[in-house]
Amino acid sequence: MKFHIQTWGCQMNDHDGEKLSGLLSAEGFEAVAEAGDADLVLLNTCSIREKAVHKVYSELGRLREEKQRRPLLVGVTGCLAQQEQAALFKRAPHIDFVLGTMALRQLPRLVAEAQAGRGRVIDTGEYPDNHLFPPQVARRRDTAKALVTIIEGCNHACTYCIVPTTRGTERSRPFADVVAEVRGLVEAGYREVELLGQNVNSYAGGCTFAELLARVAEVDGLEWLRFTTSHPMNFTRDLARELVTNPKVAPFLHLPLQSGSDRILKRMLREYTIDQYLERLGYLGEGRSRLALSTDFIVGFPGETDEDFEATMQVLETVQFDASFSFIYSPRPGTPSLRLKDDLPMPVKSERLARLQQRQAELTLASNRRFVGREIPVRIESRTATEQGWWLARSGEWKTIHLAAGPGRELPFGELVQARITQASPHFLGAELV
């Protein structure tokens, strides 16, 4: 049987896709690049925003038509599967099975039952050891950076967020297992890893998260260590110190803010004020100037006034984020924010988002221009050069680099090279090989 996995969403979903691919490969199934060549199509879904859900249902509609033309098994996993569960069968009756986020290892069983003709197979149960997935099973994609899950679930209760429903409460892997996995990845040729969790700062696998970073950084051969995502309430002085002093921890921090208004943050149940957020950034000390800082914003949250939005713009000016990810509030089923009155017209929300994103583009361009003329290490992330002759690379600050190496020059995939930055845009840095 040939299979194809389509993944939407975050890095956690990306890594879940690698786990699912490994489970199917261990059963003798063959991965193919196109859904049209597959006997089994698995949709590994996201439900954090309504737009992501629409994309999944659009693909399900296409697969329904394809299934009418030929034998085909269709499975749905990921956060939408955990959220909707059996209701998915009502909206898309051609789905053969539904697999929850906490039951990944049940995939071979569900596929076998679907192959045997059992209709509407489902498992969205919470298995107590689901976070202890054997890392050697994962079938990793051809990437320069390896993903490593250290904690799953979230104990916070943000009113807009579906994650506690779709991912459950926090479960941490033992630190020895994490270190062993990273050591194995380095032995396999990876030089960069990213530690994953809905809230990595809450890690409690026998040590603190700051201590885990220090232990992982001791692995010989590891060059860069990243992590995502952090909750400001759990961002400690020890973590900040490790981030700015450990040479293996990449100089990049993503610390979601969501709003610049204390009133909106309270309605979101984010558990901190703007002053507390800024205090945590202060933990970085002088090291703040040496790293890139990104954040998240939700625009148009129920009850957001002009004054609330202006407060967000003011924080944007105060902090001068190097990058941000911003979206219009997306109501999610079962979340407490659905009980809040959301009467702000969409044109107003769209205008606010456009204004925020325009200012962020200006700030990002200013941040990128500071790199022009510098020589920095960058990691090669493409196997070949583009038609324009440049190679894709990344800096430690997670800047996208378009690297010119000269005609016929081959660059080592996954390795660090020295680059001189020659130009800047809001989206990438142009560079030449030193």
Whether 48 contacts 9, CB under 8 Å:
yes
Query: Using an 8 Å Cβ cutoff, are 357 and 350 in contact?
Result: no
Name the binding residues.
10, 46, 79, 154, 158, 161
Cβ–Cβ < 8 Å for 329, 349: yes
> Would you say 178 and 132 are in contact if contact means Cβ atoms under 8 Å apart?
no
Determine the Cα–Cα distance for residues 119 and 96; give it in Å rounded to an integer. Answer: 6
DSSP 311-379: HHHHHHHHH--SEEEEEE----TT-GGGGS-----HHHHHHHHHHHHHHHHHHHHHHHHTTTT-EEEEE
186 contact partners, CB below 8 Å, separation of at least 6: 219, 220, 221, 222
Per-residue tokens: 210: 């700051």
Would you give the end-to-end CA distance of the chain in angstroms?
47
What DSSP assignment string belongs to 212-257? HHHHHHTSTT--EEEEE---GGG--HHHHHHHHH-TTB-SEEE---
Cβ–Cβ < 8 Å for 258, 308: no
In the chain, count of helices (H) and strands (E)? Answer: 13, 19
CA nearest neighbour of 297 among 345, 265, 340 = 265
Contact in structure between 130 and 107 (CB atoms under 8 Å): no
Tokens 């051969």 belong to which residue? 221
Residue among 312, 275, 271 nearest 295 (CA): 312
Give the integer Cα–Cα distance in Å for 281 and 346: 33
- Binding residues for [4Fe-4S] cluster, by number, are 10, 46, 79, 154, 158, 161
Residue type, 405: A
